[in-house]
Structures are given as structure tokens and as C-alpha cells.
Structure 1
């Protein structure tokens, strides 16, 4: 059976430039949409977080405003309750990549807090890239790639064509002026990636070799479909 590992933030906040802790976590749509795509394809699913901490969903991502109304919000809440594999993660350090066919990092503001500096996640991504199996990240999820930058300032992902939440989108979110840093800036200036973006909040997926990335929440579903095609 094909098996996908979800690596999810363990943070329930994002610390802004003034020290304010903005409530956060993973974004429901970016986990549940791909989860459902993978389950429909018959894949097995497991999850890992820093420290094996049960992940926190961003409460904002469960509201009617972000789900097309109350009916959509309830469907998302119900789907989240049914995604039991995501609720009981292992520690990232305990992952054996030989047990999985691909890795998927959902976004949300939580990954901006813990994953850019998580050494275990950085090593996992580096080893996964070397294995030749797909690496997939969406929205703020590519913040995890920053942990692959070594002491010499280089990353094995340098030069890869990728996407992630754009500066323009973070501005529309209303947090860009309060953030310590913006994802697009660090992917370009520190990771040295070939960053690509589409119009704000339109679906956009980039595939470069075995790296699969999506720009924003609306890209999570097509990104998962792209990954299924690659694994078929």
C-alpha cells in the first residue's frame, strides 16, 4: 500500500515582531483536502510533529467565513474529526522514511513558528530529497525548507523551482506589517530557491524534479492530485 506521511506543525501560535502571539496552528483546508484525496486513492496515512505533540488546528480555518458558510464549516469540522491519523502523531525523530512513499507538509501560520528551526524536520527533508521520493509542501509549509540550510549557508533545495505563500498574500492576510519575516523573502534570499507566484489566492502548483509545492490554501487540493498522479 502506498503510504503518505504528514508532517504538521506542533505550534499553536505565531510570534509577531512585537512579541504578540497570534493564535495559529495548521490550516484545516490544507490538511483535510489532501487527506481526503489520499484516502480516496487508497493510501495509508501517518503523521509526525515536533516532539510528537498533537497538532492544533487554526480555529479561524474552521469558521464559516473560510468555508463558504456554516454548512461548509461543519463539513470541515466533521472531516477533521474523522481524520484520526492526524490527531495521534509520532515524533519526527522516530520516522523511518523507508516506510513511506511521499511526505506532505500542510501550512498555516504555525509552521512559521517551529518548523524553520526544527533540526529533525530539516534532516528528514534532506534525507527525503536524497531518497528520490516526492517531497510536498503547501502555503506556509515551505517554511520547513529553511531548516535544511546548513552551517555553510547552503541547502540541497537551493535552485529548485517552488512556490509558497507570497508577500502579496500575506499583506492581504493583514499580518505582513506585523511579521518578523515573510516566507517569500526567506525562500529567495536564504534558501536561494527559484520562487514562482501566481495572482493572490488563485490555485498554483509548481513541480521541479521530486519537489511539489502549492502557493496557498486553494492550491492544496490540486497539489495532492498532482502527487497522486506522480505516485500512480
Structure 2
């Protein structure tokens, strides 16, 4: 049976005191989307506000990014429904891409928090990459505990943020994950690093995007002994 993947993405196009242009980072959108598509999965894209979900167009020469931009993925991002229309019970996994955008509209959004909590509570897979794990920091499960408390996690590191967007973000993601009880780890700057803890999958940076999707697939399609 085909698996159903839910993309929950940001609607923000600017961030910070200088109104830096941003969006959902192309590589972190396209690589997982194309990886899930190649597996034969159904993919639905919902954004915080609905409508055209902004994409931060980086690495345009990348072949997987081009396949996404020239295919159904880009169309899906231009025509999203808002997250209040989501029926979580229809999906096997949720994925939150990065880019700076989710820092703006996800950490304190109660609907985002409920989607992620409900997915985890129903036995589904919760995944995010780069700045995407910002959506996890305030998520509480049905037992009142923080989803990431005591779990191994990663996300965009302080070392990476120092040379990327430190002046634009209101807090360091690495610190926020640790403050919520996450057991944070990171690789060298811009190197792929994917952490799976049970049904929670997180990736550190753009180089980790494909690996996050592959790890989700491994959880949904366990190898039979």
C-alpha cells in the first residue's frame, strides 16, 4: 500500500530586523519531495497560511531541484491549502523543511504543534531538516511531555548560523532544542548529519535533506528479516 506523506511548510517570505528575503529552502523541499516521489508515495503540501508557499531559490543548477521545479512539486507549493484543513489520520509521516522561513511562523503556531503531536501520538513518523526542527521545540504530546525531551535530535548548528543568519534569527535553534531536553548533536559545518530516534527524524542542514527522507522511508518500509 502506498504511504502518504504530509509536508507542513512555512508561509513566511521575510525574516529579521532587516527584512531578509527567505522562504522554504529549495534543496530541503525538492530533495525530500523527489525522494518520496521516487518511492511511489503520495505527497500533500500544506502551508501555515495556505496559497503560494514561498521557496528560497538556491542551488538552481542541482538536477533534483530542477526536476522538482519542472514537475508537480512546484505546482503543489503554489497551490497549498492551509494547515487548518489537515486530517492527520490520513498520513503516515509528516515532514517540515527548513530555510529561515519556519523560524518566523512555526514555533508558536498551535496548529503546527497539534499536527506534529497528533502524528507522533498516532504512531506516525515526524521529520524535519535544518531550521525545520524549530517547529518541534514547543510540541507537547498527549501525556504533557515535550516531544523532543530526552530524544536525540539535530538541526542547524550555532557554528553554521554564525556565518549564515545570526543577525536575522531571534534565537539559536541548537540552544532551543537543548533547552527542551533534546540530546543535540552536530557534524562539521555543512556536512550531512541525520539523527533517527524512534519515530523522530531530524537533519542538520541542506546536505542532510535527502538522508532525512531516506530515513523516513526506512521507518515506513522496515526490512523484513
- Relative to the length of structure 1, the TM-score reads 0.87
Contact 2:46–2:82 under 8 Å retained in 1? yes
Aligned partner (choices 135, 138, 147) of residue 144 of structure 1: 135
Aligned partner (choices 183, 187, 195) of residue 198 of structure 1: 187
Structure 1 residues 124 and 188, CA gap change in structure 2 (3 angstroms): same
Residue 176 of structure 1: aligned partner: 166
Residue 29 of structure 2: aligned partner: 31
Deviation at 1:129, TM superposition (A): 1.2
Structure 1 residues 222 and 80, CA gap change in structure 2 (3 angstroms): same
Normalized per residue, which structure has more helix?
1
The CA RMSD over aligned residues, in Å, is 1.9
Aligned partner (choices 121, 133, 156) of residue 124 of structure 2: 133
Aligned partner (choices 69, 74, 81) of residue 80 of structure 1: 69
- The reply on whether 1:44 has 2:42 as its aligned counterpart is yes
Residue 54 of structure 1: aligned partner: 52
**Number of positions where the alignment pairs a residue of Structure 1 with one of Structure 2:** 216
- The reply on whether 1:229 has 2:218 as its aligned counterpart is yes
Contact 1:45–1:85 under 8 Å retained in 2? no
SS at 2:209 equivalent = helix
Range with greater deviation from structure 2 (153-162 or 91-100): 153-162
Q: Unaligned stretches of 5+ in structure 1? A: none
Residue 14 of structure 1: aligned partner: 15
- Relative to the length of structure 2, the TM-score reads 0.89
Partners of 2:166 and 2:81 in 1: how far apart? 32
SS at 1:51 equivalent = coil
Deviation at 1:52, TM superposition (A): 1.4
Contact 2:117–2:140 under 8 Å retained in 1? no
Structure 1 residues 183 and 78, CA gap change in structure 2 (3 angstroms): same
Structure 1 residues 37 and 178, CA gap change in structure 2 (3 angstroms): closer
- The reply on whether 1:214 has 2:214 as its aligned counterpart is no
Structure 1 residues 25 and 192, CA gap change in structure 2 (3 angstroms): same
Q: Unaligned stretches of 5+ in structure 2? A: none
SS at 2:127 equivalent = strand
- The reply on whether 1:99 has 2:90 as its aligned counterpart is yes
Contact 1:119–1:147 under 8 Å retained in 2? no
Deviation at 1:87, TM superposition (A): 2.7
Partners of 1:6 and 1:161 in 2: how far apart? 22
